[in-house]
């Protein structure tokens, strides 16, 4: 397995609840897990994330919902609507419904279809599909 140069590790309150959300609803793949440590390494396309149930080891302060304030994780996907539909089927409230963003990059305009959703601990996930 190849590891990205940056792989965020998120502290979660309940690894089983997070596992269901990320694997069953969002469609991430379980690359490996250490059940005794309540840890899992997951991926979706080229995105990689580690999740570990809060154990006090990494905490720099009190964790209060929503976790990850001030950060959103952009995850590039091939089909935003596939994820959107799975979220709706599971009655997950979106933080921001489907929208298009226009980003200027090196003199070109890139158009992306995006949705934002919070995971069970409030981490903000931005799923993004390049459409032009």
Mean per-residue pLDDT of the chain: 95
| Domain annotation for the chain: domains and CATH numbers | 9-56+68-130 (3.10.180.10)
| pTM listed for this prediction | 0.93
Q: Report the pLDDT value the prediction gives residue 123, as an integer from 0 to 100.
A: 97
Q: Report the pLDDT value the prediction gives residue 62, as an integer from 0 to 100.
A: 86
Spans in the chain with pLDDT lower than 50: none
Distances in whole angstroms, Cα of residue 123 to Cα of each of 81, 111, 130: 20, 24, 22
Q: Report the pLDDT value the prediction gives residue 81, as an integer from 0 to 100.
A: 97
Q: Report the pLDDT value the prediction gives residue 56, as an integer from 0 to 100.
A: 82
Cα–chain center distance at 4: 15
Q: Report the pLDDT value the prediction gives residue 76, as an integer from 0 to 100.
A: 96
Q: Is 82 left (phi over 0), alpha (psi -120 to 50) or beta?
A: alpha
Q: Report the pLDDT value the prediction gives residue 61, as an integer from 0 to 100.
A: 83
């Amino acid at each position: 397995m190849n590891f990205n140069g940056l792989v965020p590790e998120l502290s979660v309150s309940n690894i089983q609840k997070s596992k269901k959300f990320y694997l069953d609803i969002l469609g991430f793949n379980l690359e490996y897990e250490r059940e005794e440590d309540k840890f899992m390494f997951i991926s979706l396309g080229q995105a990689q994330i580690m999740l570990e149930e809060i154990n006090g080891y990494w905490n720099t302060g009190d964790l209060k919902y929503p976790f990850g304030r001030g950060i959103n994780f952009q995850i590039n996907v091939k089909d935003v609507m596939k994820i959107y539909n799975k979220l709706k089927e599971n009655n997950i409230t979106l933080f921001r419904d489907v929208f298009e963003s226009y980003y200027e990059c090196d003199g070109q305009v890139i158009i992306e279809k995006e949705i934002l959703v919070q995971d069970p601990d409030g981490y903000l996930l931005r799923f993004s599909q390049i459409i032009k």
